Amino acid sequence: MTQPRDFGFDTETTLLRDTARQLLRDRLPTQALHPLVATEHDPHRPPACHWDPPLWQQIVDLGWTTVAVPEDAGGAGMPLVALAALAEESGRAALPSPFIATATATLVLRQCQSAAARLLLHEIAAGRTATLAATPRSGAWDTPACDLRLEGGQLHGSAWYVQDAAKAEVLIAKAVHPDGLALITVPVDRQGVELVPDAIVDLTRDQAHVHFRGVSVDDAQILAVPGAGGAALEAAWPGVLTLVAADICGAAEWLLQTTAEYARTRVQFDRQIGFFQAVKHPLVNLMIQLDQARSLVYNAACALDHEPEQAEKFARMAKAAAAEVAAFSANRAIQLHGGIGFTWECAVHLYTKRQKHNQLLYGDAIYQRARLAELLLAETRITDHRKS
């Protein structure tokens, strides 16, 4: 199988992306984002979830949640590069919303063969929000490790680091069973479900851990039967990594452009500080790193549609490159803004904190590269074998 050279980025996708960018520019400019999310500066502040539900409704009306849902499940069935482009816009605006969490859920549901999954995809296309409850307390993102058990038709245990849980209506829970991992849909308001918000650094999203105290499960909730859940998650994972990497690229572009703008206006020693190569060159280095990560994101998204056997490799490359960009963009933006960049009133910290969350989410650069080394060494060994 081969990829189209233009990543499948067609006119329809361009229109969708440009409309999304315009909407967020109009509805959530930085001067609106800051008062929305930066309400409480005490570092001991309690958990909070600040977002703009009417804006989310507009996003649903524009069809963002239909993009990755197949046409036969009531969606638009667009190429995944379209979903990546929207994630990029979500990052550029540092959008507090259930978009990334719901898109993640969508990617997982696409890999489940059940009628329950199909039904939930229909609901997501219509605007229902969802999130993945699949991580153990250890934070081992993409391993079979799990603190939740499916026993006698009931869920017992917990899921940790659940993204944007307070904005989600439905959980997709990963649970262990003697026959293997299962995926189960559980409405957040179901009896026995206790959602405990985490106090997190990032002000533009929320997170929680969820306790399941004997939550009863009927057959209509089984998205993937015991034994099938692990494979579904594994197949969805490249898309999940690509989404976060795309969000990073959008946020990094905002940090790059905002810092460049500051370097064009701030004057010291009678010159714009962007004149000095100690300022100019790091910004260029950020641009170069960001462009590489962004190109890898489109390649990974395109691979999911056209070369799925290569998708894990390309998605880990994208997330590894993007995680480095997350850290570098956050670091240089604050430093090059100088004193003002160190203040609560300057919006840079909102993006810096989102980037630090994005950097670790689903595995940082070192983690992705370790997995890549295994993949690549195995791959070349096979090629060598074929040659001889």
Partner 1 sequence: MSDSTPRDSAEQTAFRSHCQQWLAANPLPEPPVRLPQSAIEIMHREQLEYLRDWQRQAYEAGLVGCDYPEASGGGGRTNCQRIANQEMQRAGRPFLPNILGLGMAAPTLQIHGNDFQRETLLPRLFSCADIWCQGFSEPGAGSDLANVQTRAERHGDGWRITGHKVWTSLAHFADWMILLARTDRDRKYEGMTYFVVPISTHLGKTVQVRPLIKITGETGFNEVFFDGLEIPDHYRVGEIGEGWKVAQTTLLHERGAGPLVTPSSGRGGPPERALGDAYALLDLARRSPRGLGCAADDPVLRDRIVQLIIRQEGSKQGARRAQVAALCDHPMRIPLQAKVVMSEIRQDVCALAMELQGAAASLSMGDAQAPDGGEWTLGYLNSYGVTIAAGSNEIQRNILGERVLGLAKSK
**Footprint of partner 1 on this chain (CB under 8 A)?**
2-7, 9, 13-14, 17, 253, 256, 260, 263-264, 271-272, 274-275, 277, 279-281, 283-285, 287-288, 291-296, 298-299, 307, 314, 317, 320-321, 366, 369-370, 372-373, 376-377, 380, 384
Alpha helical stretches, state H, the chain: 11-27, 30-37, 53-62, 80-92, 99-110, 115-125, 229-265, 277-306, 308-337, 348-360, 365-387
> Strand 130-133 vs strand 170-177: parallel, antiparallel, or unpaired?
parallel
Q: Which is nearer to partner 1, 201 or 370 (CB)?
A: 370
Name the residue nearer to partner 1 (CB basis): 84 or 109: 84
Measured distance CA(221)–CA(160) in Å, rounded: 20
Q: How far is the CB of 316 from partner 1 (least distance, A)?
A: 9
Q: How far is the CB of 58 from partner 1 (least distance, A)?
A: 23
> Is 355 within 8 Å of 252 (Cβ atoms)?
yes
Question: How far apart are CB 360 and partner 1 at their closest, in Å?
Answer: 17
**Length reported for the chain:** 388
Structure tokens at 252: 């990094």
Shortest Å, Cβ 230 to partner 1 = 25
Q: At what angle do helices 99-110 and 80-92 cross, to 10 degrees?
A: 160
Least distance (Å) from partner 1 to the CB of residue 257? 8
The least CB distance from residue 375 to partner 1, in Å, is 9
The nearer residue to partner 1, 191 or 277, going by C-beta atoms, is 277
> Are residues 146 and 175 in contact, defined by beta-carbon separation less than 8 angstroms?
yes
Name which of 35 and 377 has its Cβ closer to partner 1: 377
- Closest separation between CB of residue 276 and partner 1, Å? 9
> Which among 124, 85, 119 has a CA at the least distance from the CA of 102?
124
C-beta closer to partner 1: residue 234 or 291: 291
Q: Write out the two tokens for 265.
A: 């206006």
Buried b (16+ CB within 10 A) or exposed e, 123-151: bbbebbbbbbbbbbeeeebbeeebbbebe
CB of 255 to partner 1, least distance (A): 13
Which residue number, 190 or 280, has a Cβ lying nearer to partner 1?
280
In whole angstroms, give the CA distance from residue 275 to residue 267: 10
Nearer to partner 1, 178 or 377 (CB): 377
Structure tokens at 234: 């594994």
User: Following CA atoms 323, 172, 89, 51 in sequence, which dihedral angle do they give, to the nearest 10 degrees?
Assistant: -110
Please report how close the Cβ of residue 240 comes to partner 1 at its closest, in angstroms: 19
Q: Which is nearer to partner 1, 37 or 372 (CB)?
A: 372
Q: Which is nearer to partner 1, 148 or 321 (CB)?
A: 321
| Beta bridge mates, 268 | 271
Question: With left for phi above 0 and alpha for psi between -120 and 50, is residue 170 left, alpha or beta?
Answer: beta
> What is the spatial distance between Cα 180 and Cα 232, in angstroms, rounded to a whole number?
12
CA–CA dist 346, 258 (Å, integer)? 11
Of 115 and 267, the one with the shorter C-beta distance to partner 1 is 267
Euclidean distance between CA atoms 63 and 288, whole angstroms:
32
